[in-house]
Structure 1
Amino acid sequence: MEAGKLIIFTGPSGVGKGTLLRKLLTQHPELVLSTSVTTRPPRPGEINGIDYYFVNVEKFQQMVADDELLEWAEFAGNYYGTPRLQVEDLISQGKWVILEIELEGARQIRRTFPQALQFFILPPSLRELEQRIRHRGTESEEAIAKRLRRAQEEINAANEFDIQIVNDDLEKAFANLEAALFVPC
């Protein structure tokens, strides 16, 4: 059986991680996207166990205390984490498991799972990232400013990752992602 692999996918909000991941999973259905646990309420159309595992704060804290999470972090007032058992089981089955996580979670994974392959997705510029966030039309000026401050902190940490990909052109970024994952060194 082929060895499983843990793949970390990180980058600032609005950089296009989700778009790249959807394309990657469509083109390579053998890859598995890990389902995170969160304390935030479900959005319309989200399904428990598919989009996220939705739990209350007390349950989440118990999972942390019981070491049931590979990583966890607080973001925008809610907690998010990766279920340890699910990921370890998939990897032991030879699956390549992708985690789409925040910077702090990626740093935790690096300490507990150093063999993980870590990607950081970068915007072409902070100005372009701001335009993408504004184009969504879902955030207040205060929220945009907060996201941009956080994005700058995250971008400053990009060199901590094995591979950095600039998402300036979706097809080019996707080709670079595929090459890094599937082309032998």
Structure 2
Amino acid sequence: MKNTLATVQTVVLATLRDAAVPQEIANAVTGRIQALARSHDVLTEEAWASALLGDVVRGAIEPLMTQFGDRISLEGPDVRLKPRIATMLSLAIHELSSNALAYGSLSEPEGKVSVRWTVRDGQLDLEWRESDGPTVSPPKQKGYGTRVVERVLAAEFGGTAELDFASEGVVLRLSAPAEGLGREATQWSMR
């Protein structure tokens, strides 16, 4: 699968270059393919049976960890995700990360991102929260990332996903029944 994604990325980049597509578009497409590849790396380690939610989030945000590691915190219990759910979560986190870097909290020297999730009473709650960045205002139109987060992610998890463009920072709240996603195990956290 990884070789297939590498081939797809090469073909797409060659096509975009030949069509003289702006670099910003090429970077967005490449980033999304790379996010898929990172989720597939996590799934390959688990023989494509499932993936830990923390590993999926960490893999999706990995490109930013070397530059902003002390400004990004991840915390939550072990939760196993089915491959398709893991892939969609990876894409959603990639979109949120890209926007945080370009326009949100990570575009400012003091900005932070926190990703926290809990499982209580059979319910998974995940929150992406940006803080200490520029003042946020809702987008004038919904792009690919917003649609992935609000529609596709909610559908894959069988729950709800809400993006809040609060002035102090973007917040994603995902709630879904834990049944069918995985199970809670030991505490996992990374700073």
User: Considering the TM-score relative to the shorter chain, is it more than 0.5?
Assistant: no
Of structures 1 and 2, the one with the larger relative CO (CA 8 A, separation 6+) is 1
TM-score between both structures, scaled by the size of structure 1 = 0.22
Specify which structure has the higher proportion of strand: 2
Specify which structure has the higher proportion of helix: 2
TM-score between both structures, scaled by the size of structure 2 = 0.22
